[in-house]
A and B are shown apart, each in its own frame.
Chain A
Amino acid sequence: MREPSRVGLGIARSRESSRRRAWFASALSIVYMGLGQLYNGELAKGFLFALYHTVILTFAVPRLLRALEGLVTLGTMEGKDNSVFLLAQGLLGVIVGGSLLVFYVLGAVDAFVVARNKAAYQATRSSRAPARTFRAAASPYICLLPALILVALTVVFPLLFGMSLAFTSYDLYNSPPARLFQWVGLLNFKEIFQIKSWRGTFASVLNWTVVWAILSTFTCFAFGLLLAILLNNPKLRFRAVIRTILILPWAIPGFISTLMWGGLLNTSFGPVNLFLQRLGLQAIPWFQEVFWSRVALVLVNLWLGFPFAMTFCTGLLQSIPEELYDAAEVDGATPWTRFAYITLPMILYAAAPILVMQFAGNFNSFGLIYLLTGGGPPVFGRRGAGGTDILISWIFKMTFDLFKYNYAAAVSVLIYIPIAIISIFNLRSTRAFREEGMMG
């Protein structure tokens, strides 16, 4: 009876002391990186960390502080300071400083973990164990490092920069290097919603963007599904040939098809209008009237996009279990009810994530709109936006034609919000889909 209790007491005591040691090690690491590791007896690692800390303190920290100061002021001397660079440096400073901070904390965590593990390993006297755990713990981060740096630089930084511009006065008249721009808070958003011409433009462009995203996603999917069902009929001959031909628009580079359709639909000389006239019909003003420009966009998008939907739906149709149709037939279901209660729900269920992704893609389909209509035809009284401009192409025009960088950024921020909502929704639906596993 006495033996176990003494052992128990010993374990409790050693656990308490090892915890105290672990906290002490991490505290030392916070004071100066590497001290905690030295305390743990990891000499090489400790000196390496200490050297790293010294280098950071002497070289990086002063620069980071200067970058942060620039981020706050955005420059004070007109003609000498460049607000754009100060903003960019400041944001990079935030990203770099943040990762240095993470590393700093990780150093302390490492000191803590090693100190605790060491107490546990002391019984076995294995001195190699801590080093090995360190290497094992570091390898995923080493694998991720190139991706992390590239994503931070080319994805995260531009997004942060774009968002920041929305809260500045950066436009044609406050343009570095000659002039400076300042932080203006929510002024740009206020102006977009308060100045009538901007509000009107924003409302009509947003309206068309939503209509466009819905129409383009729906038409492609519905047409693709129809073709998939028709081509699924085994009595039909030449199915493989027809499928291959119908897939061609998907195979041609999108920008080429778009430019080609610009010629085909040309109002005066395009073959489509010539054909209509030969049939005795009126030529259609494809790119001169807003309505017809929109029709042209939807049709061309359909031409470009239906092959994907068709192929996708064909695959899904073939994965629907045959028994469902057999059972329905026994119950006396008509072809229509079989379609409406078996085919459509099964396909919609499986295609939902793809449809949401396509919707998000169409919401920002810059290439098609810019290359086919250029956003035109012009509409009187609009701030830079034509009749078919969607938000993304309007942003492009605000940036490169009107030089209203601040408003362009503010509108971008306004797009981020629905995109974030869509992405969260999509995330949820795919996960629910995965967990339920309806399709086996």
Chain B
Amino acid sequence: MRRMKAVSPLGLGFTYVFLLSVVAAVVFPILWILACSFRSGSSLYSPTLIPRQVTVENYVNLFTNPRFPFPHWAWNSLKVCGASALGAVVITAFTGYAFSRFRFPGRRSGLMGLLVLQMFPGSMAMVAIYVLLNALNLLDTHLGLILVYTGGAIPFSMWLAKGYIDAIPRSLDEAALIDGANTWQVFWQIVMPLARPILAVIALLNFIGPFNDYLLARIVLTSDVNKTLAVGLRDFVTGQYDKNWTQFAAGSLLTSIPIMVLFLLLQKHFISGLVKGATKG
């Protein structure tokens, strides 16, 4: 930027010092947990950052120790989040298309209603969700959790999808209709391929959201083998498994790495979408 011309060498020096300290504050916790995962014993305390004895015992334990079914948790998280993301994509594709392309009685109030519902976090209805799933015999099942996540995702994701589909020119639909396509063909062969980027964003958001959710997973899932990673990993440090910090560190790293890779690969796409959304309205 032009206005930065005025920055003096001294100012630049301060900038470097400041940025370096922020970088240190960001990197240190990550290094600490990395070191922690290779330490023997289970305690939090360590006199040095780099462990004196490096061991992979914690990682091996994750997959072999029958006391904490870590592979189950990982699979559960993958299953629940994947299904929620897929459900959200399919449903919001239809919903966004309907709200964008059709003019029908109830459209405006439907849009408004979803906008207001989007402001209510799902966590505020926890008792009711518990009772509902209990009545439907879906407590401690992944299906119940998936339904709640998918339903809760619709209001916000629908708005994303609708906004994107609005920007796809209607003349394309009309041309196809003149060529004899029906509404379904317009949806499936014209609009959906063009809406792929936003569907990818919706899938990603609705994968990461449930992945990070603790509250609902904790309420719905009770048995050990059904837990997701968020619920399971917390048990390591709250005492159910004798406050095993090194074990927690190993589990956390294995959990974070795929998510981090996914995030860093895709960040450019959704960041630009985010900023465009804010600057273009």
Q: Please measure, in the bound complex, the distance between the C-alpha atom of A147 and the C-alpha atom of B162, giving whole angstroms.
A: 14
Q: Please measure, in the bound complex, the distance between the C-alpha atom of A25 and the C-alpha atom of B177, giving whole angstroms.
A: 33
Report if A419-B19 is in contact (Cβ < 8 Å); known contacts: A147-B92, A234-B4. Answer: no
What's the dominant secondary structure at chain B's contact region?
helix
- Name the residue on B nearest A223 (C-beta): B22
Question: Among B119, B126, B215, B229, which residue has the most Cβ atoms of chain A within 10 A?
Answer: B119
Q: Please measure, in the bound complex, the distance between the C-alpha atom of A366 and the C-alpha atom of B216, giving whole angstroms.
A: 11
Question: What distance in Å separates the Cβ of A312 from its nearest Cβ neighbour in chain B?
Answer: 7
Report if A366-B215 is in contact (Cβ < 8 Å); known contacts: A158-B129, A338-B3. Answer: yes
Is there a chain B Cβ closer than 8 Å to A173's Cβ? no
Q: Please measure, in the bound complex, the distance between the C-alpha atom of A140 and the C-alpha atom of B233, giving whole angstroms.
A: 44
CB neighbours of A361 from chain B (8 A): 121
Question: What distance in Å separates the Cβ of B49 from its nearest Cβ neighbour in chain A?
Answer: 7
Select A159's contact among B23, B124, B135, beta carbons within 8 Å.
Answer: B124
Is A439's CB under 8 angstroms from B279's CB? yes
Is B95's CB under 8 angstroms from A144's CB? yes
Q: List A334-351 residues whose CB lies under 8 Å from chain B.
A: 335, 338, 350-351
Is B25's CB under 8 angstroms from A303's CB? yes
Is B151's CB under 8 angstroms from A154's CB? yes
CB neighbours of A248 from chain B (8 A): 26-27, 30, 260
Size band of the B side of the interface? 35 or more
Is there a chain A Cβ closer than 8 Å to B168's Cβ? no
Q: Please measure, in the bound complex, the distance between the C-alpha atom of A85 and the C-alpha atom of B4, giving whole angstroms.
A: 65
Question: Among B99, B118, B131, B249, which residue has the most Cβ atoms of chain A within 10 A?
Answer: B131
- Name the residue on A nearest B14 (C-beta): A230
Is there a chain B Cβ closer than 8 Å to A245's Cβ? yes
Select A405's contact among B115, B127, B129, B132, beta carbons within 8 Å.
Answer: B127
Is there a chain B Cβ closer than 8 Å to A437's Cβ? yes
Q: List B252-281 residues whose CB lies under 8 Å from chain A.
A: 252, 255-256, 259-260, 263-264, 267, 271-272, 274-275, 278-281
Select B102's contact among A140, A426, A430, beta carbons within 8 Å.
Answer: A140
CB neighbours of B94 from chain A (8 A): 143-144, 146-147
Report if A251-B260 is in contact (Cβ < 8 Å); known contacts: A162-B125, A259-B237. Answer: yes
Question: What distance in Å separates the Cβ of B83 from its nearest Cβ neighbour in chain A?
Answer: 13
Is there a chain B Cβ closer than 8 Å to A15's Cβ? no
Question: What distance in Å separates the Cβ of B221 from its nearest Cβ neighbour in chain A?
Answer: 14
Q: Which of A206-214, A263-271, A288-296, A377-385 interfaces with chain B? A: A263-271
Q: Which of B52-60, B152-160, B195-203 interfaces with chain A? A: B152-160
CB neighbours of A412 from chain B (8 A): 124
Select A84's contact among B4, B131, B233, B249, beta carbons within 8 Å.
Answer: B131
Is there a chain A Cβ closer than 8 Å to B33's Cβ? yes
Is there a chain B Cβ closer than 8 Å to A7's Cβ? no
Question: What distance in Å separates the Cβ of B63 from its nearest Cβ neighbour in chain A?
Answer: 19
Q: List A134-177 residues whose CB lies under 8 Å from chain B.
A: 136-137, 139-141, 143-144, 146-147, 150-151, 153-162, 165
Is there a chain B Cβ closer than 8 Å to A427's Cβ? yes
Question: What distance in Å separates the Cβ of B10 from its nearest Cβ neighbour in chain A?
Answer: 13
Question: Among A136, A245, A351, A437, which residue has the most Cβ atoms of chain B within 10 A?
Answer: A245
Is there a chain A Cβ closer than 8 Å to B6's Cβ? yes
CB neighbours of B230 from chain A (8 A): 253, 255
Select B256's contact among A161, A256, A433, beta carbons within 8 Å.
Answer: A256
Binding site for A on B (CB under 8 A): 1-4, 6-7, 12, 15-16, 18-19, 22-23, 25-27, 29-30, 32-33, 36, 43-46, 49, 91-92, 94-95, 97-99, 102, 104, 107, 110, 114-129, 131-132, 135, 147-148, 150-152, 154-155, 158, 183, 208, 211-215, 219, 229-230, 233-234, 237, 245, 248-249, 252, 255-256, 259-260, 263-264, 267, 271-272, 274-275, 278-281
A233-B15, A395-B124, A423-B115 known; 5 other A-B pairs, CB under 8 Å? A153-B147, A233-B4, A326-B2, A367-B212, A408-B127
Q: List 29 A-B contacts (CB under 8 A).
A: A143-B95, A146-B91, A147-B158, A150-B91, A150-B150, A151-B151, A153-B132, A157-B128, A157-B132, A160-B128, A246-B23, A251-B256, A251-B264, A252-B256, A253-B211, A255-B234, A259-B233, A263-B44, A263-B245, A269-B44, A315-B271, A325-B2, A335-B3, A350-B279, A354-B278, A370-B214, A399-B127, A420-B116, A422-B119
